[in-house]
Each structure stands twice: as structure tokens, then as C-alpha cells.
Amino acid sequence: MSPVVVALLLFAGLSEAAGRILPLVARRPGMSRTFVAGLLLPGGLVEGAVFALWPLTAWTLAELMLSSPPSDAGLVWTPSLVAPLVLSAVLAFPLIGPLLHMLLFVGVGAGLAGPLATATGLDWWGAAGCVAVAGAGLGATVEAVRRLVVRISAQPGAPEAIA
């Protein structure tokens, strides 16, 4: 991956994490800035890593659908493919609503389906299915981890999160 793509993915991850963390901060005005930054940076790295894994996971699913593996090395993010993802992550703040956020991610996934179809020889719908299953699987995994972290941190005896 080029440095530009890595920077764009990290920016998208930080923006996505901010969209998830800032509503929590708004509900708890006494949270310290250090604690918020401590949530935002790891959250941004995790979101950026999930975004980076999306084409790789879709490629792996496409390989499973094919009888013979494709000759290409795989689907990777390019600046033109990652730019809509950055836009959707920037717009991910809860003020726009989850429906618009989901529509933006569907648009990004549709943009990934074309290069995946070209690289693997699948039809566009098969490639779009691989992208959708990969995105939904990664999203469900991240959401499960988030819920687990919240459940663990909310147990009695856990350190208080508000400073």
C-alpha cells in the first residue's frame, strides 16, 4: 500500500471512530480530553485496519467462489478507491443518520465490486456479493468486540471510565 492510501485509511478510521465516540462524550460532559484522545486514537487505528482488510477479505471470498484461483495478486486500495471511503467516514457523524451512512458504504462497496470483478473474472453481482459479505462480516465482528469491551468495562469492580 502506498503512503497516501495508508494516510487516507487512517484518516477514515479516525473520522469513523470520532463519529462513534463523540456522541458518548456529548452525553457525559465531564470526560477528560486525555481519556477521549485515549479512546479516539486506538479506535481510529482499529477502524482503519478494518477498512484496510475489506478488499482483502472480499478477495479471499471471491477466491473461494472460483474453481481456479485468479492469477492477480489481489485487490488493494488505491487512492481513487479509498477517496469515497474517506468521504463516507467523514460524513459518519450521527447527525446524518445511519441510513445515509449505510448508503454511502454501499456506494463504496459498489466501487470495490468493479475492480474485484475485473481482477477475478466473476460477474459484477458475484463480486458485489463478496464485497457485501466481507463488509458485513467485518462490521459484525467489530461491533461484537465493541459490545464485549462495553460489557467488560461496565462490570462491577471495573475501573471507572470517567476521570
Question: What pLDDT sits at residue 163?
Answer: 47
> Where are the chain's structural domains?
3-153
Give the N- to C-terminal CA distance of the chain in Å, as an integer.
Answer: 39
Name 8's Cβ contacts closer than 8 Å, sequence gap at least 6: 77, 79, 82, 83, 85, 86
| C-alpha–C-alpha distance, residues 129 and 127, integer Å | 5
pTM, two decimal places: 0.76
Chain segment 9-56, per-residue pLDDT in tens: 888 888 777 777 777 676 777 777 787 778 788 888 888 888 888 888
Closest to 95 in 3D by CA, of 11, 43, 22, 17: 22
Cell of 25: 462524550
pLDDT in tens, 50-107: 888 888 888 888 888 887 766 666 677 777 777 777 776 666 555 556 677 777 778 8
